[in-house]
Structure 1
C-alpha cells in the first residue's frame, strides 16, 4: 500500500469515528469554581524589610570589617540602662528564641535575621540568641557573617542592645539580643 493510500485510510477511519460529534456550546456552565486558597497578604513592614534586604544584598560596596573569630561584639542603645546591659552580658535574661545562621550566604542570613527579629517581636519575645559562628570555616580572611550581623543589628531600630554570649551559650560565635517591644 502506498503512503498516500495509508493516509487516506486513516482519514476515513477518523471521519467515521467522529461523525456524530458536535461542538460544545461556550456557555461556560461546565467550569468549576477556583476554590484554591489565596496566599495571605504580607504585612507592610515585612515587605519593606524584604525590600531593604534586597537593596542591601545588591550593594556591592559592602566591605568586611577587620574582625577576628575571638573578637567580642557589643552595642547598647542610649535608652537601655547600664544595669540592664550588664544583665544581658551575664546571660541573665531568658532566651525566648534562637536563630542559627551557620552555612547561610550573606543574603540568606540577612533575610533570616530580619524575619526572625520580626516574628520574635510579634510573639512578644524580648531576648533572643543569634548564632553567627566564629568564622573558622571562612578560609583565612576571617569571619564573614559576624561583622555583617554586627552591622545589621546596629542599624535596626528595634534592637535595644546586643553582646557576645557567654562561652556556655556560644561565646564570641553568638550574640544575645535585647529587642524593643511592639507596644
Structure 2
C-alpha cells in the first residue's frame, strides 16, 4: 500500500524512450500489387552501449613471473624443485608435427589436471635449426593454449633446450 503511489525519478543519464514503430499504409492511389507487399519495419536508432574491454592474459615470456602466481609456487618452479607430471620430447620432429604433438599433449594435460609438465625441444645444431625452441613460446601464447598456462621457465639456467610449464588446475 505504501509504495503504490510512488513514481520513479527520471535520471538525466537515463536513455529516452523511443516512440513505437508503426507500419505505414501505402496510399490508395498505388496499384494493388504495391499495396499488398508489406513494407519493411523501420528500425529505431538506439545508441550501442560501450563494450567492456576484454581482459586478456598477460603476455607469456619464458622465465618471467606471471601475475597471480604465489611466491612458493614460483620459487619451486623456477628452481626446478616442482614435480613434473609428464614430459614431451619434440626432438626430431618437423615444426608442424611438433606443434600438433604439443597441442595434443596440452589438451591431455588439461583433461588429467596435471600441474607441471616439461617440454624438451633441444637446442638445435646449426644456424637454421632450433625452430621448435624458438616457436614454442608463440605456440603457448595462442588463445586456446594460453588459457591453460600460468608460467613457463627453463628448468636450469644453462639448458635452454627444455621448458617447464606450470598449468592452471580445475577447482574440485
Deviation at residue 142 of structure 1 after TM alignment: 4.8
Aligned match of 1:154: 141
The CA distance in 1 between the partners of 2:95 and 2:103, in whole Å, is 12
- Structure 1, unmatched stretches of 5+, are 1-71
Runs ≥4 in structure 1, deviation > 3 angstroms?
none
RMSD, aligned CA? 2.1
- The TM-score normalised by the length of structure 1 is 0.53
SS in 2 for 1:172: coil
SS in 2 for 1:78: coil
- The TM-score normalised by the length of structure 2 is 0.57
Q: In the alignment, is residue 177 of structure 1 matched against residue 131 of structure 2?
A: no
Q: Is the Cα contact below 8 Å between 2:90 and 2:98 reproduced in 1?
A: yes
More helix by share: 1
Instruction: Decide which of 104, 107, 128 is 1:115's aligned counterpart.
Output: 104
The CA distance in 1 between the partners of 2:139 and 2:64, in whole Å, is 12
Instruction: Decide which of 143, 154, 160 is 1:164's aligned counterpart.
Output: 154
Aligned match of 2:84: 95
The CA distance in 1 between the partners of 2:72 and 2:103, in whole Å, is 27
- Structure 2, unmatched stretches of 5+, are 1-60
Query: Aligned pairs, how many?
Result: 108
